[in-house]
Amino acid sequence: MHFTPDFNARVGVISDYHAKGKHTTTFAEMYTTPDGTQIIDTPGIRDFGVVDIPSEELPHYFPEFRKFMKACRFNNCTHIHEPDCAVLSQLNEGNIPQERYYSYRSILNNEDIFK
């Protein structure tokens, strides 16, 4: 049996998916925020201690939230349960990917909601 490098790569992706059971991708994504900050989003982001970010700063690491956050009623909005939260309403409108919101909430609560 002959395994090409490409085949092995695919196996790696599939087995990683099954092992962790929650990853939709194993590839890091890089975002560049308007101020030039580059953010790397990896499926294993929580494994690297990013949870040490103060919770009030966490939303700033989600560029998808940023453009809506200013419209929240409270400027210390955690975008979880506050009334008139622009992030939540944009989430409901489908303008913020649910996946991103779930990972935000998961990091904020420091819990694995996929269990």
What is the contact surface with Zn ion in residues (CB under 5 A)? 72, 77, 79, 85, 87
Beta strand residue intervals within 1-115, DSSP E: 29-32, 38-41
Smallest distance from Zn ion to CB 107, Å? 16
Distance of CA 100 to the CA centre of its chain: 4
d(CA 103, CA 115): 13
Question: Does residue 40 contact residue 28 with C-beta atoms inside 8 Å?
Answer: yes
Which residue's CB is nearer to Zn ion, number 62 or number 79? 79
Which residue's CB is nearer to Zn ion, number 87 or number 107? 87
- As given in the structure block, the two tokens for residue 13 are 């992706």
Smallest distance from Zn ion to CB 86, Å? 6
Which residue's CB is nearer to Zn ion, number 43 or number 72? 72
Smallest distance from Zn ion to CB 84, Å? 8
